[in-house]
């Protein structure tokens, strides 16, 4: 069952993967993110980070409110490179 | 917390964790203090590239020896660090750059590196999506054994292996003071307790200047904000990292398919600010499309900042301080700390355990800045 519960859809990370990483000592949300790539896909963490924080709270006892949110990365939603470049005429 | 240790390392990035591993495996009682989490500084924000094509002997020597270690590192540490050798293609734009490239290649070959000079047609044989005219290249150098590895996984693998050999790693523990008597280190004080030691390694990246100041040592390092982008994933189209010293750009496609790349920001300045800039994003996107027009259809996903801990000659500062026994420098990597960390941590561990020194260590001592003439590393990007 745990294998089928997907926490991060972008990177295909299951509940079991997250719990295993926490058991291995990755108890900081930033370390978890860097180990599993959670929050680095197209959704930029909007789907998974809340779930990961809840799992962290359950496993470590650290309250969700006391866990810092990972830093957000612009441009928040995907934007194609051509659009970004079109705003500037490089000579 | 432990009350004493043989060696205390300040900084839980690739340098600190790599050194902790190399010391612990040789039976040294080593302890790491990291004020945030592992890879929270420059290591965790870096471009992941591993390049051996440098203009100065010391950087080339360190990088070539490091690649030999990287090749076996997943096996040695028991975890996959995702090392991959797709080569580095260094664009050459004019006759002046060609002259320097010929000089660099000559020196690199004396160190045993396999590296060649390509004409403009040869560029597309390596990376078909490049627009040679758009990038204004007259040629390139190419080294097939350059590549990249995953900086998070490499650091975590070093840290895990170090722990198995008995190293103690304390994250979220900030060094507040360093104790010394007149000529030697005696201990370290943190916000969680203090520890007695005779050797402190300053591997604190852009914060290394603050650490050195605690013991009254002045370092010439300047922290420079750098920015990087990552795109969505798409079908693998090229394996080499493409870089240009003139434009400062670097980009590569990772195994999973995303492009990672950077370029000096138009608003680049010293300091500790971590806010990404729109001007960087525009400059990066337009230069990238000039190099590889097909990429204009690819979505940008993420954009983040990191730092270069830059020294006056863009080479690291390594080794012991003359007037303060036990205070060891391991910083100033100027944007290429990750790629030379395996050899740097090996050399420093040999120095700490056996007192063994080497030409590279001697040349990269902090005392070199007292001379008026220092040899500057020419081959930098980002």
Provide the residue count of chain B.
382
Straight-line distance from the first to the last Cα atom of chain A, in angstroms, rounded to the nearest whole number? 57
| pLDDT tens digits for range A12-24 | 999 999 999 999 9
Burial of B280 (0-12, 13-18, 19+ CB in 10 A): buried
pLDDT of B271: 83
B 170-189: CB under 8 A from A: 171-172
| Lowest-confidence region among A2-6, B88-92, B184-188, B356-360 | A2-6
Closest CA to B364 of B311, B323, B325, B324: B311
Residue B207 lies in a domain: yes
Nearest CA in chain B to A85: B286
Residue A90 lies in a domain: no
Domain span at residue A78 reads 2-85
- Element housing B340 (H / E): helix B337-354
Residue A91 lies in a domain: no
In the block, residue with structure tokens 């990038």: B135
Distance CA B288, CA B249 (A): 8
Q: Are residues B364 and B334 part of one domain?
A: yes
**Number of Cα atoms under 13 Å in the Cβ half of residue B171:** 18
Q: What is the domain-level CATH number for residue B127?
A: 3.30.9.10
Q: Are the C-beta atoms of residues B351 and B319 closer than 8 Å to each other?
A: yes
CB-CB neighbors (< 8 A) of B231 in chain A: 81
What is the phi-psi region of residue A21: left when phi exceeds 0, alpha when psi lies from -120 to 50, beta otherwise?
alpha
pLDDT of A88: 56
| pLDDT tens digits for range B109-142 | 999 999 999 999 999 999 999 999 999 999 999 9
A 23-82: CB under 8 A from B: 26, 28, 30-31, 34-35, 40-42, 44, 71, 73-75, 78-82
Q: What is the domain-level CATH number for residue B181?
A: 3.50.50.60
Which band of pLDDT confidence, cut at 50, 70 and 90, is reported for residue B382? Answer: confident
Q: Are residues B269 and B208 part of one domain?
A: no
CB-CB neighbors (< 8 A) of A87 in chain B: 282
Q: Do B276 and A85 touch (CB under 8 A)?
A: no
Torsion of CA B60, B64, B66, B69, to 10 degrees: -170
Q: How far is A76 from chain B (nearest CA, A)?
A: 7
Closest CA to B239 of B104, B126, B362, B346: B126
pLDDT of A1: 59
Distance CA B279, CA B93 (A): 24
- B234 touching chain A per CB within 8 A: no
Give DSSP secondary structure letters for B104-135.
HHHHHHHTT---EEEEHHHHHHH-TT--TTTT
CB-CB neighbors (< 8 A) of A22 in chain B: none
Residue B59 lies in a domain: no
- Number of domains composing chain A: 1
Residue B296 lies in a domain: yes
Q: Do A84 and B285 touch (CB under 8 A)?
A: yes
Distance CA A26, CA A70 (A): 14
What is the phi-psi region of residue B84: left when phi exceeds 0, alpha when psi lies from -120 to 50, beta otherwise?
beta
Q: Do B37 and A78 touch (CB under 8 A)?
A: no
* Residues in Cβ contact with B40 at an 8 Å cutoff, skipping those fewer than 6 apart: A30, B12, B13, B34
Residue to substitute from B32, B299, B303, B306, interface A, most A β-carbons within 10 A: B299
Q: Are residues B139 and B12 part of one domain?
A: no
Q: Do B297 and A80 touch (CB under 8 A)?
A: yes
Q: Do B152 and A34 touch (CB under 8 A)?
A: yes
Q: Do B297 and A82 touch (CB under 8 A)?
A: yes
pLDDT at residue B205 above 90?
Answer: yes
- The share of chain B scoring above pLDDT 90, in percent, equals 92
Rounded to 5°, angle at Cα B370 from B211 and B270: 50
Which band of pLDDT confidence, cut at 50, 70 and 90, is reported for residue A64? Answer: confident
- Number of domains composing chain B: 2
Distance CA A39, CA A54 (A): 15
| pLDDT tens digits for range B225-283 | 999 999 999 999 999 999 999 999 999 999 889 999 999 988 888 888 778 899 999 99
Averaged confidence pLDDT in chain A: 88
Q: Do B301 and A41 touch (CB under 8 A)?
A: yes
Residue A43 lies in a domain: yes
Chain A, chain B: beta-carbon pairs less than 8 Å apart:
85
Q: Do B152 and A79 touch (CB under 8 A)?
A: no
Q: Do A81 and B298 touch (CB under 8 A)?
A: yes
Q: Are residues B142 and B163 part of one domain?
A: no
Nearest CA in chain A to B159: A25
A 3-22: CB under 8 A from B: none
Closest CA to B374 of B311, B293, B284, B307: B311
Q: What is the domain-level CATH number for residue A31?
A: 1.10.10.1100
Averaged confidence pLDDT in chain B: 96
- B300 touching chain A per CB within 8 A: yes
Among the three residues B308, B326, B358, which one is the final residue of a domain in this structure?
Answer: B308
CB-CB neighbors (< 8 A) of A74 in chain B: 276, 281, 302-303
């Amino acid at each position: 069952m745990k294998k089928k519960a997907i926490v991060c859809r972008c990177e295909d990370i299951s509940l079991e993967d997250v719990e295993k990483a926490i058991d291995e000592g990755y108890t900081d949300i930033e370390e978890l993110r860097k180990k599993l790539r959670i929050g680095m896909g197209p959704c930029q963490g909007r789907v998974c980070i809340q779930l990961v924080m809840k799992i962290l709270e359950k496993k470590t006892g650290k309250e969700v409110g006391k866990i810092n949110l990972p830093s957000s990365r612009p441009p928040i939603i995907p934007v194609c490179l051509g659009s970004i470049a079109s705003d500037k005429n490089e000579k | 917390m432990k009350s004493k240790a043989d060696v205390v390392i300040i900084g839980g990035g690739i340098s600190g964790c790599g050194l902790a591993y190399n010391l612990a495996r040789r039976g040294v009682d080593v302890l790491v203090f990291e004020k945030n989490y592992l890879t929270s500084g420059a290591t965790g924000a870096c471009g992941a590239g591993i390049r051996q094509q440098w203009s100065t002997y010391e950087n080339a020597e360190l990088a070539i020896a490091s690649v030999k270690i990287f090749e076996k590192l997943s096996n040695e540490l028991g975890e996959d660090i995702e090392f991959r050798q797709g080569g580095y293609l260094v664009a050459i734009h004019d006759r002046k750059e060609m002259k320097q490239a010929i000089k660099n290649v000559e020196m690199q070959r004396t160190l045993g590196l396999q590296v060649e000079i390509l004409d403009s047609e040869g560029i597309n044989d390596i990376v078909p999506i490049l627009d040679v005219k758009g990038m204004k290249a007259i040629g390139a150098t190419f080294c097939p054994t350059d590549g990249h590895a995953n900086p998070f996984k490499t650091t975590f693998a070093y840290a895990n292996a170090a722990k198995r050999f008995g190293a103690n790693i304390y994250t979220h523990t900030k060094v507040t003071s360093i104790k010394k008597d007149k000529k030697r280190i005696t201990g370290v004080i943190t916000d969680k307790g203090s520890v007695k030691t005779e050797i402190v390694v300053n591997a604190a990246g852009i914060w290394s200047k603050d650490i050195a100041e605690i013991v009254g040592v002045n370092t010439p390092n300047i922290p420079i904000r750098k920015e990087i982008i990552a795109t969505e994933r798409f079908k693998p189209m090229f394996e080499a990292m493409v870089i240009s010293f003139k434009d400062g750009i670097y980009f590569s496609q990772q195994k999973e398919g995303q492009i990672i790349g950077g370029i000096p920001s138009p608003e680049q300045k010293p300091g500790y600010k971590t806010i990404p800039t729109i001007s960087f994003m525009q400059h990066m996107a337009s230069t990238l499309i000039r190099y590889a027009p097909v990429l204009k259809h690819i979505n940008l996903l993420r954009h983040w900042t990191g730092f270069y801990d830059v020294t006056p000659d863009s080479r690291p500062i390594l080794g012991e301080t003359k007037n303060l026994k036990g205070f060891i420098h391991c910083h100033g990597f100027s944007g290429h700390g990750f790629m030379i960390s395996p050899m740097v941590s090996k050399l420093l561990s040999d120095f700490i355990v056996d007192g063994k020194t080497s030409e590279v260590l001697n040349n990269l001592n902090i005392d070199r800045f007292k001379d008026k003439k220092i040899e500057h590393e020419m081959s930098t990007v980002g």
